[in-house]
Structure 1
Amino acid sequence: MGKKLHTASGRRFILLSLVMWCVTILFLAPFYVLIIYAFKPREATMLKNPLAFPDTLYLQNFVEAVQKSDFLRAFTNSTVSTVCGVIVLVLICSMAAYIVVRRGNNRFYGIWQYIFLASVMLPFQTIMFPLYKNLMNLHLLNSRPAYVLVSVGFQMGFDIFLYCGFIKTVPVELEEAAAIDGCSRMGIFWRIVFPLLKPVTMTVVVLSALGIWNDYQIALVVVSKEAVRTLPVAQQSFIGQQISYLNLASAACLLSIIPMFFLFLFIQKFIVQGVTAGAVKG
């Protein structure tokens, strides 16, 4: 009996290992293709075996990618939009979540938490055309503030959801003690509550930065003009109907990954803690 269980357990372990290896390969394969194409000349990407590792590292791709796609301007646009969007999201979402949680007994405030959560399920395609028309009527197309505003709107629901879950774990007694000492509501939030939200704030920073930095659909609709376009839209210039430069597109994409990679490494220890507390507790 024990031998059969041992055999069944071993087979289950082998099966799960195979599944995990397949999933790992599935996720890592695009990165492998991206890296080898970034270091190959264009001719090598059209050979019979385009997935072979390059014999020599062709670094000229990175130089051409920066020059031909106006990479530095797009990088600046993405950086400014991401930084502004993250700051606005942290300020607005933390305060909104605080009010919703602390006044959750009020039906008016309580229902807003579900409204914010429902907005997460709204795909961009459903409002893409009305949004484009409204921005055009307001003369806000190809405007960086408009892009930041729209991006914040689509990120806001999920960020408030995370903040709500975390704020529920903050003891109310701390706020009551501060109120007895004469601290105002804003003072209680910024001096007592907000410093305790560091884990979930770091999570919001990473997820929001990734969402805005990697966004393509909103950027394509709102800021498609060359002077204000972001990195994902600028990289599209390497892909055409008649001819494509996959090597240059891969090099530009690899360069655009670097800032978010280091941001993730810098505050990764807060991500699991923030997501777990924000999504489970309360």
Structure 2
Amino acid sequence: MRFSQQRISLLVFFLVSFTLNLKADNDCLRCHANQTHTIYNDWTERNEKRLMNPYFILDSLRMKAGVHGSFACTDCHSSDYETYPHKGELKLEPLSTCVDCHGGDENFADYKFELIEEEFKKSTHAKALGEQFTCSKCHSQHYYQAKARTSENVKDIVKFSNDMCMSCHDNTPRYQLMSDSVNPKLVETHNWLPNQKLHFESVRCIECHTHVKDSLMISHNILPKEEALKLCVNCHTANSHLNASLYKYKNIQARATKGKLGVILSNKSYVIGAYQNEILNLLSILIFMAVIAGVIIHSFFRIIKK
């Protein structure tokens, strides 16, 4: 009986906590999920509707689908935000990084956050910008999803990853938050790449712009542009570079269970040269030799007949 009462007490506690979090989030999203917000103007002594800063408008559906979708806003943001209107100095509040919350936590040991941080510190972003460049510059705490771990659809993984890069490198205002230089035009800087649009849709930027580390799901050591891969054979061979990056873990498991042809069909992604099978290669050679032999024999008998 006592055990049941404890369980009931825990259940009530979690339900109350969830309800309070939900209410708090709804209070925040009443403004931050809309184009406008209402504020009381002490000067005019009336409520006035104002346009919301577009950078502070949140997509509530994407938030709920993200890895932090069950969190309350004040789990990450100061509880002072519960007071409205917000104090201006709260905009200067430093946000936690991934390691601040997940570092040293055994529940997240498989994600290797400490190793990710070590690799990131070697990257061109960290070297150029130091502590200014935090996890949130690429990984939105509001919308981030672990697509590479949870999706077997390569196109889905590619789009989600590339959208993170493009959110800065194809967005001049955000780019200039980090750099005084003009945002590079991606089409022009990649004009050496054949079938450029197809490559952008089929592989992640990090395939060519990172140093792959086997012990990590995704490499975080972003290379300087001078060191980016430019050789076609890095990906378009049987021993494809993509096997160590885009197709690792979840997709490698799928390749093992479904077979290479099954993965091609289910992933809706195919890289010429990467999907090779020794038996099919041998069979294609035998068929080719048989066709050549047939043409020679046919030509021989036509000559004899004449």
Place the TM-score, normalised by the shorter chain, in its bin. under 0.3
Larger Rg computed on CA atoms: 2
Task: Return the TM-score normalized by structure 2.
Answer: 0.24
Larger helix share, 1 or 2: 1
